[in-house]
Amino acid sequence: MKIALAQINYHIGNFESNKSKIIDCIRKGEYEGADIVVFSELAISGYPPRDFLEFRDFVEQCNSLLAEIASFCTKTAAIIGLPTFNKNPKGKPLYNSAAFVNDGKILSYTHKTLLPNYDIFDEYRYFEPNSEFNVIKFKRKKIALTICEDLWNVQDNPLYTINPMDQLIDQEPDLMINIAASPFNYHQTATRKEILRKNAKQYSIPLFYVNHVGAQTELLFDGGSLVMNSAGELVDELSYFEEDFRIFDLDKVTSDDCPVLVGAMRSEIEDIHDALVMGVRNYFQKLGFNKAILGLSGGIDSAVTSAIAAEALGAENVYNVLLPSRYSSDHSVSDSVEMVKNLGMPYDIIAIEEAFNSFENLLTPFFKDLPSDITEENLQARTRGIILMALSNKFGYILLNTSNKSEAAVGYGTLYGDMNGGLSVIGDLYKTQTYELARYINRIKEVIPENIITKPPSAELRPDQKDSDSLPDYPILDEILYQYIEQRKGPREIVAMGFEPALVDRILKLVNTNEYKRYQTPPMLRVSTKAFGMGRRIPIVAKYLG
């Protein structure tokens, strides 16, 4: 039996596009001699469809499309993920299903059993869990078909009491197929491979695994679909961060002399880089835009954002605007100009002084003799924000947000100012990771001028300002933030790790009292195990550590 894995970049709710990609792969599979083409979880709808699933019309369209796609499966079978209706009067209205299609017809459905409902996952909001287990018989083989999380109870996961493969193995399947929508984070690729390996070994049959690839707003899917033999050895894996299609011969995979991969592991920073490039590219493509604008400050964050955007969209499509004020240092402009010239990106310099002055004039009668404070700093950031949005509106460019995770965490940014943008590119990277990414970007030649990487970070909103005036050094800040955000450690636990109690209290308080700012920030490309956004839900009006 020849099994094709179709690793596709779907577009949520774009039924025409998803359908034509699926049909193309079915045709390709047929042409290249595949017996069956396997698509990923919720392929027809795209993943995650979220509350579109509450629209009967949406789910009906998915099912109509499946019927249409089935008519193309006359010579080649297919397994395709989609939401289906639960016809039982009890339970949630939908199933997260995999349709098995052959002879031009829909032959059976397999429903997902283990429904993740943590972090970025809300599957229990929509889906009824499966409770019936049947292998699929095809070409004199028995296929144990499962959907994503269904394989994640192999290590005695405390969240689940059922293990679907334990049910299916009694029916003596010859192989496992798992269709997935497993989002990327910089630990996930290794974790996922380990879980899959344990399944293959535990059940001693080969495993064919198909993941999504591509960006869905904040969620990034890295692909990496794969085949493992019954010893849990990697026979092959598909591309990372791009679409792919490959056909495998089951006989070869099960033969004793099937070669296995001992490929080099990708580095975390390489993964992060490729994930962000894909994230920016897909965000623009799927929204129908091709040009970005951003404010280039001379600092590390906007430099890294600009470089990533240039790689994603082409340097000529990234419009860099330098917006110096009376507090900007000379090197802010010269470093930025060097940077845009390194990549050949378009740029302009717009001094904000005139607009800033006009606000000061307007407001002086109301501010009276009150001293200058954070208000005037915010005013500069917001003047820049307005100018960038005006250019964005006039030319149809999407504004990229350049904030990093350390800033977003402690509220070191101006709402409606530098926190503006359609998409935050590095909002899930701590400052220290941003430096690491800058070094990676410069791995072959200097893209980001060395001075941008080495000078002390500053917002340049008042004379001689430095980030270190109001924040601890970033390595310390980032470690405290990581323990609190990613590891969900409380203050006592973090102090017990050796950090100063007053500092820990101050940082955690900053994180919690700035929730109101993060509520209004753009979506951030998620690369960590706990990103700001859909996977982290904190009340604004609360007093915990606040």
Is the CB of 74 or the CB of 117 nearer to its own copies?
Answer: 117
Do 489 and 483 contact (CB within 8 A), yes or no? Answer: yes
Q: How far is the CB of 192 from its own copies (least distance, A)?
A: 22
Contact yes or no for 327/463 (Cβ under 8 A): yes
Minimum separation from the CB atom of position 138 to its own copies (A): 33
Grouping H, G, I as helix, E, B as strand and the rest as coil, residue 467 is helix
Nearest-approach distance from CB 305 to its own copies, in angstroms: 18
The residue from 19, 112, 291, 405 that is catalytic is: 112
Kindly tell me which of 102 and 521 has the beta carbon lying closer to its own copies: 521
Q: Specify the residue, 31 or 544, whose C-beta has the smaller distance to its own copies.
A: 544
Give the three-class secondary structure for 128: coil
Of 113 and 521, CB closest to its own copies: 521
β-strand pairing of 226-228 with 207-210: antiparallel
Closest CA to 289 of 421, 383, 381: 421
What one-character-per-residue DSSP string does 155-166 give? T--TT-S--HHH
Distance CA 420, CA 286 (A): 20
Question: How far is the CA of 187 from the CAs of 194, 267, 487, in angstroms?
Answer: 11, 10, 13
Q: Which two tokens stand for residue 94?
A: 């939908």
Give 49 or 449: the residue with its C-beta nearer to its own copies: 49
Q: How far is the CB of 102 from its own copies (least distance, A)?
A: 29
Residues contacting 67, CB < 8 A, separation 6+: 106
Q: Do 148 and 112 meet the contact criterion of CB atoms below 8 Å apart?
A: yes
Least Å from the CB of residue 360 to its own copies? 9
Q: Could you give the angle at which helices 431-441 and 474-485 cross, rounded to 10 degrees?
A: 110
- The number of residues making up the chain comes to 546
CB of 347 to its own copies, least distance (A): 12
286 sits in which H/E element: helix 268-287
| 41 a catalytic residue | yes
CB of 227 to its own copies, least distance (A): 30
Place of tokens 């040009």: 291
Task: Answer yes or no: 128 catalytic.
Answer: no
Nearer to its own copies, 470 or 520 (CB): 520
In terms of CB distance, is 57 or 170 closer to its own copies? 57
Q: Which of 176, 157, 179 is nearest to 167 (CA)?
A: 176
Minimum distance of its own copies from residue 217's CB (angstroms) = 5
Distance (Å) of CA 339 to CA 269, 297, 329, 346, 436: 21, 11, 16, 11, 17
Contacts of 530 (CB under 8 A, 6+ apart): 119, 485, 486, 488, 536
Catalytic residue among 25, 62, 73, 148: 148
Cβ distance to its own copies smaller for residue 91 or 344? 91
Distances (CA, A) of 173 to 28, 142, 501: 27, 5, 57
**Cβ contact 8:243 at 8 Å:** yes
Nearer of residues 472 and 491 to its own copies, judged by Cβ: 491
Cβ–Cβ contacts within 10 Å for residue 409, how many?
A: 26
Active-site residue, 445 included: no
Closest CA to 342 of 435, 246, 238, 446: 446
Token pair for 485: 């955000």
Closest to 466 in 3D by CA, of 453, 475, 457: 457
Query: Catalytic pick from 41, 128, 218, 311?
Result: 41
Task: Compute the least distance from the CB of residue 234 to its own copies, in Å.
Answer: 31
Active site residues: 41, 112, 148
